[in-house]
Structure 1
Amino acid sequence: MVFILFKFAIQDFLDDRKFKNLSPETLKGYEITLKEFHNYCTDNNLIDTSDITPRVIKNYLIHCQNERSNNPVTLNHKIRNLKIFFNYLEEIEIYDEKNNPAKPIPYLKEDVKIEVFTDYQIRQMLTYYRRLKTRDKAFWAYRDYTIIVTLLGTGIRLGELVNLQWRHIDFVNQVMTIFGKKRIQRSIPLTEKLVKELAEFKVFCERYFGKLNDYVFVNSKNEPMTADAVKCMFKRLKEIMNFRDVRLSAHTFRHTFAHRFLMNGGDVFSLQKILGHSKIEMTMRYVALWGTALKEQNEKYNPLSKLDFV
């Protein structure tokens, strides 16, 4: 067993992840968690890997829960990142299997609640941007409007949205190519309505900037938008819309897409492929939550419902 300064261990791990060509979003997620954990450790005079015990990690999580108001979903995300980090340190023999401090830390039970937008809320957002398009904020309004339409029409993740390039959109065959988690490629069919919206936005960007960027969604300087920029956009929209019963985020649009897809008769396996879930269990969460509504759909569309056996 070899012990090193904790900050050097973190840097070594991040360098290894970069070498393995992980996506910028994944790298940033690791970096945020480990930086926060490192700050907590240094505040408590813990600077060496030998100082880190299961109790330290548990106290850090309690701190996040009490001082940062982290919910179980956020805490589980941090636990996952820490487990991956300490497993790496075990691989390079900083720890052995018995003293890996993250191993005894269990994941928390999450309250499964998936929020979705109502039709009224969706109309409110789109109407707001349509009205702005006629004023001096035409570019921002048109871009943000198209972001919402794209999220609603595809169910793609935030990271996938900001990495979307024009060459990934096949306007003729109405297909969008997405490079998702672990850089796994998938194709998403596009509706005629979304194809039309994206085609018009492309022409608008060409005329507005004079030169089209490779990326679909850009800022006022014609540079690719970051995930943080999109989050800020939703933060501003949240203040304007004042929705109190639903979180305004890219992931809520993803949940809304899944909800509408299933409610309109879509099958779970197709939804899994569109959303890019690696395991069907992830997609089945939606079925578990909206099972009653799906039962009503089955009663309505099941071929046996209209057959007379008498």
Structure 2
Amino acid sequence: MLFKFAVKDFIDDREFKNLSPKTIEGYKLGLRKFQDFLTDEEIVDVEEVTAGVVKRYLLDLKNNRSNNPTSLNTKLKNLKAFFNYLVQEEIIEEKGNPTKKVEYVKEDIKIEVFTDSQIKQMITYFQRTMSRDKTFFAYRDYAIIVTLLGTGMRLGEICNLQWRHVDFENLTITTYGKKREYSSVPITDKLKKELREFKIYQTKCFGKETEYVFTNQTGGRLSENAVQNVFKRLKTIMNFKGVRVSAHTFRHTFAHRCLMAGMDVFTLQRMLRHSKIDMTQRYLALWGTALKEQNDKFNPLNNLNI
């Protein structure tokens, strides 16, 4: 089968399975780039693609397009999904799957977190801006930062958050994001206070209660790109060294602080809504030395006369 027709069948199958538009767009973009590479290699049929071709493609991405290990693994994961589909549909044989023996690239595990000083700088900046300019955007961006720090929510979850999903009485937020699943996470009294005050301010600005918690200038849903632009501006203003200003860094910081305070890994897994505990354990492995103090303090052997 011609590669371009195989791609069309695969995308149709993903849409039929009701995958998110973002996931489908990722498949489209990745397979389009791979198809361009195959054209340069004068390959047009899926059965002509070998493990060697896949490896050359990944090397090209690494050497000529500066893809890091994480990006390479994401692209390989998408290719594996595509060729596994072709095997499932009996378009190619199992032994003809070119990605079967191509292993993922080893990644250097480095998870960045904000320091207490950096967090204070960001909070102070927004508080001063709110006091001086009294703009909706300053208050909104401050509320986003505080919510990220207080919940570890993902970027998509922040953008999808609606007021009907914020339960002030029971101190919970219902998130909707990755895998398009709803999950409930607890919030503190402090975050409840911040969000209630923001809601009052927001309602006065628009003359009505908005559907979404974090909105654009017209009161509609704030896009992921708009939030990323907030972080880009904040990065320029703060000029932090060695740490990326992003929703994911706030999420990592939330996880780091929870573990440092003694939270167990299973509770953290539920707080972060990880479907598997692997990622949560990665946090534990990285910050295990920091947890030594907690172990020294609470270890049951401390009180035994042995």
TM-score with structure 2 setting the length: 0.92
Q: Does 1:147 align with 2:160?
A: no
Higher relative contact order (CA 8 A, sep 6+): 1
What is the CA distance between 1:40 and its match in structure 2?
A: 3.0
Q: Which residue of 2 aligns with 1:183?
A: 180
Structure 1 residues 24, 124: closer, same or farther in 2, change over 3 A? farther
**Number of aligned residues:** 306
Q: Which residue of 2 aligns with 1:158?
A: 155
- Secondary structure in structure 2 of the residue aligned to 1:98: helix
Q: Which residue of 2 aligns with 1:35?
A: 32
The partner residue of 2:19 within 1, 22, 43 is: 22
Q: Which residue of 1 aligns with 2:216?
A: 219
Structure 1 residues not aligned, in runs of 5+? none
- For 2:38 and 2:222, the matched residues in 1 are separated by 34
8 Å Cα contact 1:25/1:159 also seen in 2: no
For residues 30-179 of structure 1, what are the structure 2 equivalents within 5 Å?
30-136=27-133, 138-179=135-176
Structure 2 residues not aligned, in runs of 5+? none
- For 1:94 and 1:218, the matched residues in 2 are separated by 46
Q: Which runs of 4+ in 1 moved over 6 A?
A: none
For 1:78, give the aligned amino acid.
K
Structure 1 stretch displaced more, 282-291 or 156-165: 156-165
Structure 1 residues 164, 18: closer, same or farther in 2, change over 3 A? farther
Which string of whole-angstrom CA distances, capped at 9 and with x for unpartnered residues, describes residues 144-176 of structure 1? 211111111111212222222221111110001
Structure 1 stretch displaced more, 135-144 or 201-210: 135-144
- For 1:97 and 1:127, the matched residues in 2 are separated by 58
- For 2:266 and 2:81, the matched residues in 1 are separated by 29
- For 1:74 and 1:271, the matched residues in 2 are separated by 26
Percent sequence identity is: 59
Structure 1 residues 8, 137: closer, same or farther in 2, change over 3 A? farther
Which string of whole-angstrom CA distances, capped at 9 and with x for unpartnered residues, describes residues 23-56 of structure 1? 3332333233223323333444444324432222
- For 1:18 and 1:26, the matched residues in 2 are separated by 10
The partner residue of 2:295 within 269, 274, 298 is: 298
Structure 1 stretch displaced more, 39-48 or 276-285: 39-48
What is the CA distance between 1:135 and its match in structure 2?
A: 4.6
- Secondary structure in structure 1 of the residue aligned to 2:221: coil
- For 1:12 and 1:119, the matched residues in 2 are separated by 50
Q: Does 1:241 align with 2:251?
A: no
Structure 1 stretch displaced more, 197-206 or 27-36: 27-36
Q: Which residue of 2 aligns with 1:265?
A: 262
